[in-house]
Structure 1
Amino acid sequence: MHSVSWGESHQLARAIRLATLGLGSALMLANTAHADDATTPQLKTVTVEVKKQTPVQAAKSQLDEVPGGTSVVDSEDVAKGRTATLQDTLAYQPGVFVQSTGGTDAAKISIRGSGANTSPGYFREGIKFLFDGLPITGPGGTPYELLGGAGVNYTEILRGANAFQYGALSLGGAINFVNQTGYTAPGLRVRAETGSYGYNKQSASYGGVEGPLDYYINVDNYRNDGYRDYSLAKSQGVVANFGYQINPNLKTELLLRYRDEFHDDPSPTTLSQVLHHPSQASATAASSGAGSRRPGSLWAGSKTTYTFDDDSTLAVGFTYYKYNHHNSPNSPTNPSYWEWTDLSALLDYERSDELLGHQTRSSLSFTTTDHIRGQVDSTFANKASRKFVDYNGSFDRVFALGNDLELTDGLWLTSGLSAINVKRDVDVKSSLVANTSEYPGSVDYNNWSLAPRLGLRYELTPQLQVFANVSRSIDPPADWEYSGSGPTQPYVRPLVEQKANTVEFGIKGSSGPFDGSLTLYRSWLRDELLNVQLIAATSTAAAVTGAFNASPTIHQGIEAGLNTQLWQGANGDKVNYRQVYTYSDFHYRHDATFGDNQLPGIPKHVYQGELQYQQPSGFYTGVNVQSSSRTAVDYANTFYAPSYTIYGANVGYEAPSKKWKVSLDLKNLTDKKYVTAVQPAYNVQGQDTAALYPGDGIGAYVGVEYRY
C-alpha cells in the first residue's frame, strides 16, 4: 500500500477541494440549464487520481516542506558514470564542496564552510552523516571508510539548520544515506567498473520480499592504483538490510555495514610539483610510511517504527559502531593506533493534527552518541607507546522539539528548539614528553547549549515556493582535537563549542522547463574551530599551531542550482542543461592578527555545468565543465592555489527494460594540471609549501551493469 506523505496529502487535499468546488459549480449550472432545456447532456464523471511516487520522489516532496536549502541525489543518476568516491555521489549539489584526493574515500568535504580547517584524510567535521536516519557521526567526528555510497538508494542533503529533523546542529547540516531494500532493489544486480590508473570496482547485490520479510545484501570490491605514485587504495565491504512487517502498524529493520580498507598516502606537495610533476608523491611520503589501515569497521543499526491509529509514529533506533584506524602503520618513527567504539540511540515521535482548522505537525526527538571506547596510542616503530590518550565517556546528546503550522493556505510557519549536552572526557594517560605548556594534561568538559530555529515558506504555486529562516548551529569539538595525535603534544587544549547564528532565504521548485533552487545565507560565528598558534616560537623551537577556538568569523554565500530542459523532440528526445554555482565568502571579522582575511581551504567560486542529450530508447551523451577560483592556502593569505577549469564527457545506454546498461565517463579531457584540495596552513610567508593535492590527469572509466 502506498503511504502518502504530509506534503502529498496537503497538495491532494487542495486538489480535491478545488475539484469539489469546480464540480459543485458545474452541477449548479447544469441543473439550471436542465430546467430550461431538458435535452441538455449529463456531465461526465470527474476522476481525481494520485500517481504513486518513487521513494526518491517521495523524499524530495518531504524535503520540499523544509523552509531552506535541501536536495536529493538519486543513485541511479550517479550510476550513469563512475561511482568511485563521495565526490562522484555529491557532484552538482549547490553549496557542497567535495574533492577526493588519491582516489580514496578520504575526500575533503564542506558545506557552508563547515570543517574548513580539516585536511583530506582526517575525520569529517561540521556535518552529521547518517544511514536511514541513524547516526554515523560521533564525538570523534565521522570516519570516512563507510562513505563510499555502497548499497545506497538515494542521498539526502540538508544544509545548515534545515537538518533539524535528524537532530543535526552542525553548521554544515546533515547528509543522510538511504539504503536499498528488497522493495527498491529486487533481484540480482551485478556491476563492474574499470578505468585509468588501475581503477577497478565490482559489486553484486540481491534483494527480495518474502511475505512480511524484505531483504537486501550487497558485496563490493574496490582497487585504485592511483594517479600519483604511492597512492594505492583498496577495500572490500558488505551491506545488508532486513525489514520485517510485524503487523500493519509495526515494522522493524536491521542494517549492517562492514568495510576493510587500506590506502597509501602520497601526501600534499608544492605548487611547483603540481604544475610540473603532478603524478609524483611528496618527497617523504614513502619513506615516512604515510597511509592508513582500517582493519574492519562494523556499523550495525536497528530501527523499529510503530504507527498509531491516528497516523502518528514512534521510532526507536540503536546503532553500534566499531572502527579501528591504524594511521601510518609502516612509519619508521611514529605509527599511531586509534580504537573507537560508539553506541547511539534514537527516540522520535511525530504526529499531525488540526489547530483551528489549520494543519499542524509536531515532533519530539532525542538522540545520543557515546564513546564506550576511545583511545589513541602514538608509538615507536616497535609499537612501544610514546603517548596514550583516553577519550572514554565523551558523548553528544540532543533533545529537539519542532512544529510546522499552516497559517493560511500555502503559508507555513516552522519552529523548533534543540538542547545539546556535550561532554568531552580527555586524559593523556602517559607521555614520554613532559608537559611544559600552560595547558592541562586532562579535561572533563560538560556543557549545555540551546539552538532555536524559526522559518517561513510560502507556496507561490504547488510546485514553487519562497522561504526564509533564522537559526543557531552548534558544533562540538571532536574529542581528538583536545590533544594532538602526535607524541610531542602531551597537553589538552581548552576547547568549547563553535556557535553560529544564521539567516537564510531563497526560492526552490519548478516552473515550465526550469527546476532548481537559489539560496542566500549569512552566518555570524563565534569560537570557530580553526588552525591558530598555540605556542609561540622560541629561539630553539618552532611555533606550535593546531585546532583552537578562533576570533569571530563570517560565513556567507550563494547556493544556486538550475536544471533546464532546452529542447524536446517529437519522439521524446531531450536536451537538458544542469548547472550549479556556489559562492563562498568565509573570512575573519577584525582578527587581531589576520584582520578580515579569507579562511583557507575553500575556493570562493565554484561552477559545474553539464549539457546532456537523451533518447527515450535509453541512449545518452553529454559534456561537462567544472571551474574553480583560486584558493587561499594559509590564514595569512600569502599563498594561493591557482584557479582552474576542467572538462569531461560521457556516453551511455540503458536498455528500456532496465535490465542492463553501459557507460563511458571521461574526466579532465585537456589533462589540466590543477590543485584539487588544500591542507590549510597557518602562515607560509608567501613561500611555495607542501600543502597542495594534485587533481587526477585525463582518465576514462567504463561501467557495465546487469539486472536479473
Structure 2
Amino acid sequence: MIRHAGAALSALVLSPCVLAQDLVSSSQTTLPSVQVTGAGADPVRRAITAEQAATPGAVTVVDGEGLRQRSVTTLADMLRYVPGLWVASGSTGDSTFFSSRGSNLDATNYDGNGIKLLVDGLPVTAADGNNHNRDVDPLSARYVVVARGANALTYGASTLGGAIDFITPTARDGAPDEVLLNLGSHGQRQARVTLGTQSGAFDALLSVEGRRYDGFRGHQAQERTGVYANAGWQLAPSVQTRFYATAIDNDQQLPGGLTRDEFRADPRQGAPSAIAGDYRYNVRTWRLANKTSWSIDADSSLSAGVSLESQKLYHPIVYAPPFFSLLIDTEQRNLGTMLRYQRRIAAHDLLVGLNGGRTSVQGGNYSYSPGGPRSRFADVDNHADNLELFALDRWQFAPGWTAVYGAQAVSGRREVRVAGLDGDYRSVNPRAGVIYQLSPATQLYANLSRTYEAPTLYELQDDTAGGPAPTLLDAMKGTVVEFGTRGALESGSSRWHWDLALYWGRLKHEILSRDDPAAPGTSQSLNVERTIHAGIEALLGASLALDAAGEHRLEPLLNLTLNHFRFDADPTYGDRQLPAAPRYALKGELLYRHASGFFAGPTFDRVGRRWADFGNTYAVDAYTLWGVRAGYATRRWEVFVDARNLGDKAYVSQFSVRDAAPADAAILTPGEPRSVVVGARLKF
C-alpha cells in the first residue's frame, strides 16, 4: 500500500488510460496473480496501488505474469480471482458468460451487456453497450484492471457492472520475446509466439497465436488463430503515439443445451438439435487503433485515441424443422474515440474525459438447412451512437482524508430501423465518495453513486412486449451505496492482504429477456419496475513464511462473492430471486512455494444453487470442484501442470434462462469434466 494518501495523489498525474500505459512501460517486476496492495520501490506496483488507493470503491488488478503459470484460455480463467464477478465458461473458449454485480442476468446472454470492455483505454464494447462476438484474448494482456459498478467512472463507463481494461505489453516496456505452449485433455492445443524490437524512438511487438480444441462434448470443436501487434513512436520527450492492430479468425461448433434427463444420462453428449442444425459461432474480426499521449508538464497531461473494428458473424443457432430455424449472418462495425485531460492543482487532482462511439449492425436472419439453402426472413439494420462526458475531482481535504466526487453525462441514440424503433437516451449521473487512510497500509472507503445503462440494439430488437407494435425500452438506472476496506499486514517475513466491499443498490427498469414460447430460440425483452442488487465481495491472500529465511512459503488465496439479487415487490414475480448468478461462489487455492521457483497445491470451487427461471421453479444444483496445480519457474523458462475437477463431477456451468422453465427444457450447458493441461514458457 501507499505510505499515505498524499503519495497516492501525487502518483496519480496521468489519466487512467495513460496511467495504464505507463504501468506496462515501467519495469518487468512480477506481481501476484491478483495484486491489490503494496507500493514498494517498483514504479509499476506503486502506480497500480496509487490508482486503486485513489478510488473509493472496489477495483482489482490482474497481472498477466501469473496467468502464464496456469491454464488460461477463457475470461473465466483470467478473472477467477476477481470478487464480485460471476464468470462461467461456455461450450468452448469464446463462449463465456460474465456478470458484474448482477449485470446481464438475461435470458438471451448473446449480447453480453453490462460491462464496458476496453483495450489500452480504448473501447471494444460497442456503442450500445453490447459485447456480442467479443473475443478478447486473455494472454494478450499484461495487466487487467477491473473497476466494478460505478467505480468505473474514471473510464466514463455507462454500464451497471463497470469496466474492464485490458492493458497490452509493448517492446518499449521490456516485454520479453517468448514462446508459450499448452497441451491438455479433450484435444486442447495452444501455441503462442511473441517477438519485439526497439530502435531509438521506435518499437514494435507482434504476437501470433493458434488454438485447437476437440471438446469434451459432441459437436464442440474450436479452431482459432489470432494476430496482435502494436508499434510506438516517441515523437518528442513528452509526446508518444502508438498504433494497434488485431485480427482474429474463430470457428467453433456449439453443442447446444441439454435437458435435465439428458444431462443426467450423459453430460458429454451434444444436443440432437445442435448436431442436426450444425450450430456454430464463427467470427472474423479486425481492429485498428491509435492512442497519443502528451505530458504537458509535471502537473497536467492530455491523451486522445480512436479505434475502428469490424466483426463478421456466422451463427446458426436454432434448428427445429419444420417449425423454425435461425441463422444469424451479420457484420458489426464499431468506431470508438476517447479524450482525457488531467491536471493537478494543489490538493486537487482533476480529470475530464470524453468517450464517443458509433455502431452499426447489418445483415439478416435466415431460415436454413445445414449445407443446403437458406431463406432470409428478417433484415438487420441497426445503429447506435453514444457519448459519455465525465468529470472527476480527487481532493485531499485533510490529512488522511480524500474526497472523490464527479458526474457523468450520457447521451445515446438507438435505431432498429426494421422495427421502426428510434429513441434517444440521456442522463446525468453523479457520484460522491470518501477515502480514509486508517493506517499506512489500510484504507476505509464509502461512496454513493447513480448507475445508468441504456438498452442494447439486441434488446430493442427483441422487444415485443408492448403489444402488436414494439415499443421502446426504458434505460436501466439506480442508486448504489458501497462501503469497503483494503489493506495489507506484515509480520516478520509473512504478509497478508485483503479487499472487502459491501454494496446495496435499487434499480428501476432493469431489462430482462424472456424466452418466447411461440418461437423457441427467440426472446422478448421487458423492463422490470424495481429490483435489488446487493452483495459482499471479499478477497483474502497471504504469503506465510514457514522458516526463518523465508525460502519455504505457504500462499493461500480466497475469493468469496455473496449475491443478493431479487425482484422488489414486482406484480408478477413478487420478491423472487433473479436467475443466472449463484447466491454464493467461493474459489481458492493453497500453494506451497520454494525460493527455487517450485510451487504446488490444491485448488477448489464451491458454487451455490442458481435459478434458471424468473419464477424460481427450476433450480440448478450447487457443486464443489477440486483440483491441483504445480510448476517450476526460472528466469528463462517455466513449466506448469493444471489439473481440474479431479473428482470428475458432473455439474452445470451455465444455462439459458426462462420465464418459467419446464422440467424438460433443453437449457443446460455442462461444465468441463476431469482435465489436465501441461504448459511451458520460454523467454529469450
Normalised TM-score (structure 1): 0.87
Could you say if the C-alpha distance between residues 612 and 491 of structure 1 is closer, same or farther in structure 2, counting changes exceeding 3 Å?
A: farther
**Kept after mapping to 2: 8 A contact 1:289/1:330:** no
CA distance in 1: counterparts of 2:11 and 2:205, whole angstroms: 33
CA-CA distance at 1:602 after TM superposition: 0.6
Letter in 2 for 1:701: V
For residue 542 of structure 2, what is the aligned residue in structure 1? 564
The aligned length equals 640
For residue 386 of structure 1, what is the aligned residue in structure 2? 377
CA-CA distance at 1:338 after TM superposition: 1.5
CA-CA distance at 1:427 after TM superposition: 1.1
For residue 417 of structure 1, what is the aligned residue in structure 2? 407
**Kept after mapping to 2: 8 A contact 1:564/1:576:** yes
CA-CA distance at 1:5 after TM superposition: 13
CA distance in 1: counterparts of 2:120 and 2:546, whole angstroms: 36
**Kept after mapping to 1: 8 A contact 2:182/2:189:** yes
**Kept after mapping to 2: 8 A contact 1:105/1:148:** no
Instruction: Please say if 1:285 is aligned against 2:274.
Output: yes
Could you say if the C-alpha distance between residues 636 and 307 of structure 1 is closer, same or farther in structure 2, counting changes exceeding 3 Å?
A: same
**Kept after mapping to 1: 8 A contact 2:5/2:437:** no
Instruction: Please say if 1:105 is aligned against 2:83.
Output: no
Give ranges in structure 1 of 5+ residues lacking alignment.
Answer: 14-49, 429-440
Could you say if the C-alpha distance between residues 145 and 444 of structure 1 is closer, same or farther in structure 2, counting changes exceeding 3 Å?
A: closer
Instruction: Please say if 1:79 is aligned against 2:68.
Output: yes
Which secondary structure does the structure 2 equivalent of 1:499 belong to?
Answer: strand
Q: Give the number of the structure whose alpha-carbon radius of gyration is greater.
A: 1
Deviations 1:304-334 (A, max 9, x none): 1111124301111101011111111896843
CA distance in 1: counterparts of 2:503 and 2:318, whole angstroms: 45
Which residue, out of 644, 657, 679, partners 1:703? 679
Could you say if the C-alpha distance between residues 83 and 10 of structure 1 is closer, same or farther in structure 2, counting changes exceeding 3 Å?
A: same
For residue 301 of structure 2, what is the aligned residue in structure 1? 313
Could you say if the C-alpha distance between residues 145 and 389 of structure 1 is closer, same or farther in structure 2, counting changes exceeding 3 Å?
A: closer
CA distance in 1: counterparts of 2:471 and 2:563, whole angstroms: 29
CA distance in 1: counterparts of 2:211 and 2:6, whole angstroms: 40
Could you say if the C-alpha distance between residues 124 and 229 of structure 1 is closer, same or farther in structure 2, counting changes exceeding 3 Å?
A: same
Which secondary structure does the structure 2 equivalent of 1:391 belong to?
Answer: strand
Q: Note the aligned Cα RMSD (angstroms).
A: 2.4
Deviations 1:553-586 (A, max 9, x none): 0000000110023433234221011101100110
CA distance in 2: counterparts of 1:559 and 1:216, whole angstroms: 37
CA distance in 2: counterparts of 1:341 and 1:310, whole angstroms: 38
- Of stretches 146-155 and 450-459 in structure 1, the one that deviates more from structure 2 is 146-155
Instruction: Please say if 1:582 is aligned against 2:561.
Output: yes
Deviations 1:204-232 (A, max 9, x none): 00123221122211010011111111111
Which residue, out of 154, 172, 186, partners 2:143? 154
Letter in 2 for 1:704: A
Give ranges in structure 2 of 5+ residues lacking alignment.
Answer: 13-38
Which residue, out of 356, 377, 390, partners 2:364? 377
Instruction: Please say if 1:451 is aligned against 2:424.
Output: no
For residue 663 of structure 1, what is the aligned residue in structure 2? 640
Which residue, out of 184, 199, 215, partners 1:210? 199
Could you say if the C-alpha distance between residues 493 and 260 of structure 1 is closer, same or farther in structure 2, counting changes exceeding 3 Å?
A: farther
CA-CA distance at 1:666 after TM superposition: 0.2
CA distance in 2: counterparts of 1:485 and 1:215, whole angstroms: 46
Normalised TM-score (structure 2): 0.89
**Kept after mapping to 1: 8 A contact 2:463/2:472:** no
Deviations 1:344-378 (A, max 9, x none): 11111001011xxxx1100111101102x322401
Matches within 5 A, 1:282-681: 282-294=271-283, 296-328=284-316, 333-354=325-346, 359-371=347-359, 373-381=360-368, 382-392=373-383, 394-428=384-418, 441-484=419-462, 492-512=470-490, 513-532=495-514, 545-571=523-549, 572-655=551-634, 658-681=635-658
**Kept after mapping to 1: 8 A contact 2:123/2:307:** yes
Deviations 1:229-279 (A, max 9, x none): 111111100111111111111111111111000111111112232233110
Which secondary structure does the structure 1 equivalent of 2:151 belong to?
Answer: helix
Which secondary structure does the structure 2 equivalent of 1:593 belong to?
Answer: coil
Could you say if the C-alpha distance between residues 491 and 664 of structure 1 is closer, same or farther in structure 2, counting changes exceeding 3 Å?
A: farther
Which secondary structure does the structure 1 equivalent of 2:139 belong to?
Answer: coil
Which secondary structure does the structure 1 equivalent of 2:352 belong to?
Answer: strand
Which secondary structure does the structure 2 equivalent of 1:328 belong to?
Answer: strand
Structure with more contact order per residue of length (Cα contacts < 8 Å, sep ≥ 6): 2
Could you say if the C-alpha distance between residues 260 and 7 of structure 1 is closer, same or farther in structure 2, counting changes exceeding 3 Å?
A: farther
Could you say if the C-alpha distance between residues 262 and 544 of structure 1 is closer, same or farther in structure 2, counting changes exceeding 3 Å?
A: closer
**Kept after mapping to 2: 8 A contact 1:442/1:491:** no
Instruction: Please say if 1:275 is aligned against 2:264.
Output: yes
CA distance in 2: counterparts of 1:250 and 1:599, whole angstroms: 49
Could you say if the C-alpha distance between residues 446 and 665 of structure 1 is closer, same or farther in structure 2, counting changes exceeding 3 Å?
A: same
- Of stretches 54-63 and 623-632 in structure 1, the one that deviates more from structure 2 is 54-63
Could you say if the C-alpha distance between residues 543 and 569 of structure 1 is closer, same or farther in structure 2, counting changes exceeding 3 Å?
A: closer
Identity %: 28
Which residue, out of 147, 153, 158, partners 1:169? 158
Deviations 1:501-527 (A, max 9, x none): 100001012122320111100110001
CA-CA distance at 1:54 after TM superposition: 5.2
